Amino acid sequence: MTFRDNIKIALAGLTVQKSRSALTILGIVIGITAIILITALGQSAENLIIGQVQNLGSANIYILPGRRPEGAAGFGAMIMSDSIKIKDIEDLQNKNNVPDAKEVIPVVFGMARANYGSESFDAMIFGTNAQAYDLFNLADYSGELFTDSDVSQKAEVIVIGQKVAEKLFGGDQAIGQKIKIKNKNFRVLGVLSKKGQSSFVDFDEVILGPYTTIQQDILGFKYFQRVVVAANSKEVIPSVIKQTETVLRDNHNITDISKDDFYVQTQDDIVKTLGIITTVLTVLLTSVAAISLIVGGIGIMNIMLVSVTERTREIGLRKALGATNKNILSQFLTEAVMLTLAGGIIGITFGSVLSWLMTLVLNSFFNLGFTFAFPLMGAFWGVLVSTLVGFVFGIFPAYTASKKSPMEALRYE
């Protein structure tokens, strides 16, 4: 009996009980749909995050306080660390210390409530210097931007995002007005044009000010949570890293590099780390979703056993006409594989459509800049796994069918 004959016989057997066949593959459909949905959204998220990092520029290095994180405890130490101080910033900005650095941009941030009249808005507060506008591509705005002179004078001036302006001032003019944050009045110099999510921050919801003012009047600390050092070119990044590490170790009296209370990352480091994180999360979530495939496989095995019992006379008749045990085995095994393969294809279709719809929803409601990414590897594995599930869970029913005695099968009522 040829492979084509097996397919025809299997199709005929499956179409006799269409409703049963449809319900049988439901577990497979759900499992594959979940896998495709997770892998598609995971790929979209990875593309978005990597794109955000790359927007910051390939010649930038990032100095973070604390020891390089290893596990949850390491990240906690990083967040709470206050190891980078103003002397570090001043020494890094000294061209004699880091001659290959074009700019040094300190960053502090936190959440605070801004008030104007009866209106209020919980905004992300960023303290930095004037060079940050180029770093974050904030070229479109109305009014003015704060300057390095404002930083040195600790001027109580700010630049606000579009949503902040709309919430606090409605249709009124925001520039020149004063808003209150932590019982301090800050004059609005400018309003950023609508930008949305960029570099992990929704700049429509931020308030930017001189880091000296933000530290003193709003956040209440004197250390820095990030420092961005822009190198003159990508080629000199290794020398900038070496110069930066030398300055910080000298300032912190560190002679053993294993005792560093800071660490340096390049764009490539961040992209690699984020890629590993998103891949691990995708694999973990996919593994959870794959449990439903096992449940679906057990369901298929049970239904196939029922089908074998119901078709005992058919098996006996086929054997009486010359069908071998191998023919019967391949027939029922083909039916099981075709069931799960159909479920896999349907699941891939549903998962792709759902992930596409979810990217539209996320973009509409959260303005995240998600792009739909069809997971080719996810689809490949969906087809392969669904086929394997049918094969593995179809072996026992098919073997049971092949071992039936033709005489007993013909006498079966």
pLDDT in tens, 386-400: 888 888 888 887 777
| Residue 206: per-residue pLDDT | 93
Q: Where are the domains of the chain?
A: 3-52+272-411, 82-260
- From 42, 40, 33, 38, select the one nearest 351 (Cα to Cα): 33
User: If DSSP codes are grouped into helix, strand and coil, which group holds residue 390?
Assistant: helix
Structure tokens at 34: 């979940």
Size of the chain, expressed as the number of residues it contains:
413
Q: What are phi and psi of 212, to 5 degrees?
A: -60, -40
Confidence band of 4 (pLDDT split at 50, 70, 90): low
pLDDT: which is higher, 324 or 166:
166
- The predicted pLDDT at position 50 comes to 65
Confidence band (pLDDT; 50, 70, 90) for 17? low
Give me the pLDDT at residue 318, please. Answer: 73
The identity of residue 97, as a single letter, is N
SS (H, E, C) 156-201: CEEEECHHHHHHHHCCCCCCCCEEEECCEEEEEEEEECCCCEECCE
By mean pLDDT, which of 75-89, 96-110, 147-161, 194-208 is the weakest?
Answer: 75-89
Identify which of 148, 149, 173, 150 has the alpha carbon closest to the alpha carbon of residue 160.
173
DSSP 69: P
Using CA atoms, how far apart are residues 166 and 118, in angstroms rounded to an integer?
14
Query: In angstroms, how far is the first alpha carbon of the chain from the final one?
Result: 28
Statement: residue 16 has pLDDT above 80 = no
Looking at residue 5, its pLDDT comes to 60
> Do the Cβ atoms of 383 and 344 come closer than 8 Å?
yes
- What percent of the chain lies above the pLDDT cut of 70? 84
Which has the closest alpha carbon to 352: 328, 327, 379? Answer: 379
Query: pLDDT (tens digit, 9 = 90+) per residue, 201-215?
Result: 788 899 999 999 999
Whether the full predicted model's pTM is greater than 0.85, yes or no, is no
* Average pLDDT of the residues in 352-362: 84
Residue 357's Cα: distance from chain center in Å?
17
Residue with tokens 């390049």: 266
The pLDDT tens digits for 109-152 are 999 999 998 999 999 999 999 988 887 888 889 999 999 999 99
**Neighbour-count burial of 259, counting CB atoms closer than 10 A to its CB (0-12 exposed, 13-18 middle, 19+ buried):** exposed
Residue of higher predicted confidence among 100 and 234: 100
pLDDT at 78: 47
User: Does the pLDDT of residue 237 top 80, yes or no?
Assistant: yes
CB atoms within 10 A of CB 12: 10
How far is it, in rounded angstroms, from Cα 278 to Cα 262? 25
Residues 22-76 have pLDDT tens digits of 777 787 888 888 888 888 887 777 777 766 665 666 678 889 898 876 654 444 4
Residue 323 pLDDT > 80: no
In the chain, the percentage of residues whose pLDDT exceeds 90 is 30
The answer to whether residue 337 scores a pLDDT higher than 90 is no
> Residue 331: how many CA atoms within 13 Å on its side-chain side?
24
